């Protein structure tokens, strides 16, 4: 699957967080690296979208579509700073 | 309970202009377009008669100063689900759904200043064109350089407009490199973007240009790495990757 970046997930993230998210900062729960959401590594498939830490490649966030539902797993993110 | 699907609105194709054999610019009008910033994109959603939906992201080509319509330049991917319809079949009066404008990071406002370095691969030039049109509409004196990589001159989006902008503006330089075929009398670059090309085209790193790189993932990563290697501050190099697939 082709690697994209957080810009590609901007619309989906806005659906989840109800605000512009590409400028937000995410701290990776695994390595502690801070990265602007736009620079995270993003993989988009038919059933869902995965955001990975650009430093250690651990999963930060998964967003899965099941019919009309969205399931969001944020366990790979230690904190999110909005700006 | 159904998850919210906020933000979708219907859009009508008002006008379509052929850009190249593979790309067209679609002028879409919506009831309520909130305005956008140069560099932002929209999500386009198509629904088939059986209810099947497909959506893709497309960069906005028009500048914020254009009232009313929003223009998207779309390149056809032959095995795509959405782009063949948008480029070949959708006719004025036809409708689709639109969500946006989207994104707040890969944007440039004239107030941000420069110098500006824009590097686009293929249709990656589309959001950069919005920035240059924004710059032109405001008669901004920000020094700007664009490097556009295209397979051939026929594939180079906006070549005529870029040439005209370049010719009429001392503070703008446009360079084009053709990676597959070049005319016999071609005076520009005719190879993939490499370090020496970036060294010639880019502002010196000491000038701390604001850099925007957009294109397919391998192009973007190669250009961004080359610029950082030349001493550019990675924090000033903004990148946007696009691929053949979407959600």
Q: Which residue of B has its CA nearest to A38?
A: B105
Give chain B's mean pLDDT: 94
Q: Which residue of A has its CA nearest to B5?
A: A15
Residue B238 confidence (pLDDT) above 80 = yes
For B169-195, how does the pLDDT look when each residue is reduced to its tens digit (9 = 90+)? 999 999 999 999 999 999 999 999 999
Q: Which of A4, A12, A23 sits opposite B104 (nearest CB)?
A: A23
Cα B23 from Cα B75, distance rounded (Å): 4
Quote the pLDDT of residue B1: 41
CA B6 to chain A, closest CA, distance in angstroms equals 7
Q: Where are the beta strands (DSSP E) in B103-223?
A: 116-121, 144-150, 172-178, 210-216
| Whole-complex ipTM | 0.94
Cβ contact (<8 Å) for B238 and A38?
yes
For A4-46, how does the pLDDT look when each residue is reduced to its tens digit (9 = 90+)? 999 999 999 999 999 999 999 999 999 999 999 999 999 998 8
Task: Provide the pLDDT confidence category of residue B5 given band limits of 50, 70 and 90.
Answer: very low
**Prediction pTM value:** 0.95
Cβ contact (<8 Å) for B245 and A44?
yes
Q: Which residue of A has its CA nearest to B237?
A: A39
Answer whether B64 touches A (CB < 8 Å): no
Cα B153 from Cα B151, distance rounded (Å): 7
Give chain A's mean pLDDT: 95
Place of tokens 């966030």: A61
Helices first, then strands: H and E counts in chain B: 5, 11
Cβ contact (<8 Å) for A44 and B246?
yes
């Amino acid at each position: 699957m082709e690697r994209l970046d957080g810009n590609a997930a901007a619309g989906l993230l806005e659906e989840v967080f109800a605000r512009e998210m590409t400028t937000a900062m995410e701290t990776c729960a695994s390595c502690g690296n801070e990265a602007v959401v736009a620079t995270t590594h993003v993989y988009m498939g038919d059933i869902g979208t995965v955001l990975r830490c650009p430093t250690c490649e651990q999963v930060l966030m998964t967003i899965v579509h099941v019919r009309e539902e969205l399931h969001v797993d944020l366990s790979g993110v230690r904190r999110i700073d909005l700006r | 309970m159904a998850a919210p699907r906020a933000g979708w609105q219907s859009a009508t194709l008002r006008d379509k202009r052929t850009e190249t054999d593979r790309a067209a610019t679609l002028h879409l009008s919506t009831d309520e377009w909130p305005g956008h910033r140069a560099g932002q994109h929209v999500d386009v959603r198509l629904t088939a008669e059986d209810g099947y939906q497909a959506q893709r992201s497309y960069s906005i080509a028009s500048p914020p100063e254009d009232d009313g319509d929003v223009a998207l330049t779309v390149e056809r991917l032959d095995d795509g689900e959405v782009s063949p319809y948008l480029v070949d079949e959708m006719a004025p009066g036809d409708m689709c759904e639109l969500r946006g404008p989207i994104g707040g990071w890969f944007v440039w406002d004239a107030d941000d200043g420069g110098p500006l370095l824009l590097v686009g691969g293929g249709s990656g030039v589309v959001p950069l064109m919005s920035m240059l049109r924004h710059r032109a509409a405001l008669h901004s004196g920000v020094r700007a350089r664009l490097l556009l990589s295209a397979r051939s001159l026929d594939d180079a989006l906006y070549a005529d407009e870029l040439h005209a902008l370049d010719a009429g503006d001392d503070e703008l330089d446009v360079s084009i490199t053709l990676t597959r075929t070049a005319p016999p009398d071609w005076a520009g670059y005719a190879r993939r973007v490499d370090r020496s090309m970036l060294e010639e085209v880019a502002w010196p790193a000491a000038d701390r240009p604001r850099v925007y790189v957009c294109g397919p993932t391998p192009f973007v990563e190669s250009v961004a790495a080359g610029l950082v290697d030349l001493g550019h501050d990675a924090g000033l190099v903004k990148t946007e990757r696009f691929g053949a697939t979407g959600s």
